[in-house]
A and B are shown apart, each in its own frame.
Chain A
């Protein structure tokens, strides 16, 4: 009897110890966030850094509550190279599938750089049921797919803005320029990728055509173009007062250099990736005074003193990495996405993708780029007031190298100024 009791006692003790050890091990098992994007590009690289900032903050505060335990986040990344010229979409998607199969992430953040890759990748995401919070690719086509087949594509969300919102902001900027200076002749130049094509076309049809502007040219440029002399000569010869560029490729900085060297008397106002960050002043030898540039999400590339959360994020990034955010698109929604994911997991109480998706749809948080909520197409809602929606912004380079936010009015710190060498028509 004594022997029996002893054996049973040892057995049950072992079971108890094993259970305790297992639960301790489970509590420490990290929740993997996958970051598949073009890491060789500024927006991709800084978006990854923003994710890591958020992950460090959350882990330092104890991690993510999943049921009764708390677990840390862990970041795994892969370079899809989909933004590099000449990389075919199927090749980029191999990387997406690889990170899902090898790293088994609970969710993906940032996602493909190019909309072409995102659209094609949605089937992979649906196949493996991994929620994605996209923060770079901007084509509204993804929302259409989600609305048409929500059961299949519900796992895809977009925290950054889409091309529709860019159109609103660019149209708003042009309207301001027209109102302030009377300019009404524009040359539109855009990169030959889905989001830029759509943006240029929509601004043309929804604003310029309706407002009676004269469009002296509309040109698309393949990714990698490095000579814009023909367009700049046309702009000069046909008297365009405004150049609206829509580019995210690094080579678009050549346009700025040529615009300056050829002394083209027109205001540059649109989105050129190399012009977004504070370092652009030094990069272009201070010759960009007067040009305006859009920042796709407040907090990416610039913060506003009128919205402290954006400045806090911007400053924390600088403290962690030693330099300011240079990308005008990607970092703020990437940072935000990690918190959105955390809160969704905590509300769901599990890592089940369907449960996480159901909670992400209910997101309503005040974050670094404004108030974040998703619409029926899983697109974060962007508007003009950070208390109501997420916001973008437009800033103008002053002649002293300062970036002054000039649009929208809710966060503007100054008004549009006429660049030197140009005359107002009013």
Chain B
């Protein structure tokens, strides 16, 4: 049981990390709030489903189009909405949350709720690891999650655009004096964040089903991981993902499943009390971000 719990805890951790890295990129690194993140996650899944199931397109083409469309939509959200309220944190939150709410409620309105709304797994197989059955999809999540996190770290530390992202987050005015176009960078960060949400959906949705309510869950989990890890810190996202992932699985196994859902919220509370900027966060005035 212990080994099995550890294996599923590691997988759960990578699921949380995958859910959070896109949000961390946009909010944490570039300081741009995108509370439509959860809705974009769900939207990309529905787009894939429509292309795959209704239009009978090949799988890889469907998910590729879905990821690209979601990425584009992220950019449009910034250009058409966020640009007008840039710098006003509360307005950014309200505007993007409103967009997210509209997207999710639209799917509910059209009755797109039910277990038939799901995506296929990449490989339909199970493996035995240390006496525990684990399906291939979950192993893929762990593998791709690790690659994406490393890739994001390299991107933000060793590419000019990535360094620009971090520059904007540190001090926008100073970044402007270096010739960094803050609006262009913000557009890119929101777009890439949305794209990462779409990749996460492609990997995680096949474990269950697509549901509008999932959008709210994803937003809360992403926020929890980013706040606990520290906004702007990729390392923090990994550590926080593991902290919450392990806490959830071990709580489920050894205490009771009905306590699992509050773990994320209790973890946020504890971290905010002990270290308000998060485990690896450097920002001192966290409340200005929220």
Q: Which residues of B contact A274 (CB under 8 A)?
A: 114-115, 209
> Contact: A250 with B113, CB < 8 Å?
yes
The answer to whether B114 and A230 touch across the interface, beta carbons within 8 angstroms, is: no
Choose from A79, A219, A226, A253 the contact partner of B115 (Cβ within 8 Å): A253
> Does residue A225 face the partner (Cβ distance < 8 Å to B)?
yes
Q: A186 CB to closest chain B CB, in angstroms?
A: 17
Q: Name the residue of chain B whose CB is nearest to the CB of A256.
A: B115
Least CB separation from B114: chain A residue: A42
Whether B14 is near chain A, meaning CB under 8 Å from some CB there, is: no
Contacting residues, chain B, for A225 (C-beta < 8 A): 257, 260-261
Q: B211 an interface residue at 8 Å Cβ cutoff?
A: yes
Question: Which residue of the partner chain A has the closest CB to B11?
Answer: A229
CB distance from B216 to the nearest CB of A (A): 7
| Minimal Cβ-Cβ distance residue in B for A86 | B216
Name A21-43 residues within 8 Å CB distance of B: 39-42
Distance to closest chain A CB from B126 (angstroms)? 5
Q: How far is the CB of A9 from chain B (nearest CB, A)?
A: 58
CB distance from A57 to the nearest CB of B (A): 22
Task: Please report the C-alpha to C-alpha distance between residue A237 and residue B1 in the assembled complex, in whole angstroms.
Answer: 7
Q: How many A-B residue pairs have CB under 8 A?
A: 104
Knowing A42-B114, A283-B118, the reply to whether A230 touches B133 (Cβ < 8 A) is: no
Expressed in whole angstroms, the minimum distance between the Cβ of A226 and any Cβ of chain B is 5
CB distance from B121 to the nearest CB of A (A): 9
* B206 to chain A: closest residue by CB: A257
Determine the distance from Cα of A282 to Cα of B211 in the docked complex, in whole angstroms.
Answer: 18
Give the complex CA separation of A326 and B113 in angstroms: 12
A257 adjacent to B208 (CB under 8 Å)? yes
A contacts with B, residue count (CB < 8 A)? 41
Which residues of B100-123 have CB atoms within 8 Å of chain A's CB atoms?
108-109, 111, 113-116, 118
Q: In residues 131-175 of chain B, which contact A (Cβ within 8 Å)?
A: 132-135
Decide if B183 is an interface residue (CB 8 Å cutoff).
Answer: no
How many angstroms between the C-alpha atoms of A220 and B217 in the bound complex? 19
* B5 engages A233 (CB within 8 Å): yes
Do the beta carbons of A229 and B8 come within 8 Å of each other? yes
Contact across chains for B133 and A262 when beta carbons are under 8 A apart: yes
B253 is an interface residue with CB less than 8 A from chain A:
yes
Binary contact track A113-153/B, C-beta < 8 Å → 1, others 0? 00000000000000000000000000000000000000000
State which residues 277-322 of A face B: CB under 8 Å: 279-280, 282-283, 285
- Known contacts A45-B111, A230-B252, A279-B116; decide if A220 and B258 are in contact (CB<8 Å): yes
Q: Give per-residue flags for A254-288: 1 if the beta carbon is below 8 A from chain B beta carbons, else 0.
A: 10011001110000000001100001101101000
Would you call A251 an interface residue if the criterion is a C-beta within 8 Å of the partner chain's C-beta atoms? yes
A262 to B213: give the CA distance in the assembly, Å: 26
Q: With A224-B213, A225-B260, A262-B126 known to touch, is A250 a contact of B4 (CB < 8 Å)? A: no
A224→B258 CA distance, assembly (Å): 11
Closest chain B residue to A48, Cβ basis:
B111
The reply on B256 being an interface residue by CB < 8 A is yes
Contacting pair B209 A254 (CB below 8 A): yes
Q: Output the nearest chain B residue to A79 by Cβ-Cβ distance.
A: B108
Give the nearest-CB partner of A263 in chain B: B133
B178 to chain A, nearest CB (A): 44
Complex CA distance for A280 and B133, rounded to whole angstroms: 24
Contact B213 A283 (CB under 8 A): no
- Please tell me if the beta carbons of A219 and B257 are within 8 angstroms of each other in the complex: yes
Contact A40 B257 (CB under 8 A): no
Q: Are B217 and A224 in contact (CB under 8 A)?
A: yes
Residues on B with beta carbons closer than 8 Å to the beta carbon of A40: 108-109, 111, 113, 212
Report yes or no: A221 in contact with B111, Cβ–Cβ below 8 A: no
B257 pairs with A224, CB closer than 8 A: no
User: CA of A222 to CA of B135 in the docked complex: distance in angstroms?
Assistant: 24
B202 contacts partner chain A, Cβ-Cβ < 8 Å: no
B251, closest chain A residue (CB): A230
| CB pair B111 A253 closer than 8 Å | no
* Interface positions of B from 26 to 76, Cβ below 8 Å from A: none
A residues less than 8 Å from B213 (CB atoms) = 84-85, 224
Contact (A42, B208) CB under 8 Å given A224-B261, A227-B12, A237-B1:
no
The one of B116, B209, B261 that contacts A222, using a Cβ cutoff of 8 Å: B261
A216 beta carbon closer than 8 Å to chain B: no
User: B residues near A, CB below 8 A?
Assistant: 1, 4-5, 8, 12, 108-109, 111, 113-116, 118, 124, 126, 132-135, 207-209, 211-213, 216-217, 248-249, 252-253, 256-258, 260-261
8 residue pairs A–B, Cβ–Cβ below 8 Å: A40-B108, A79-B108, A219-B257, A227-B12, A233-B1, A233-B132, A280-B115, A283-B116
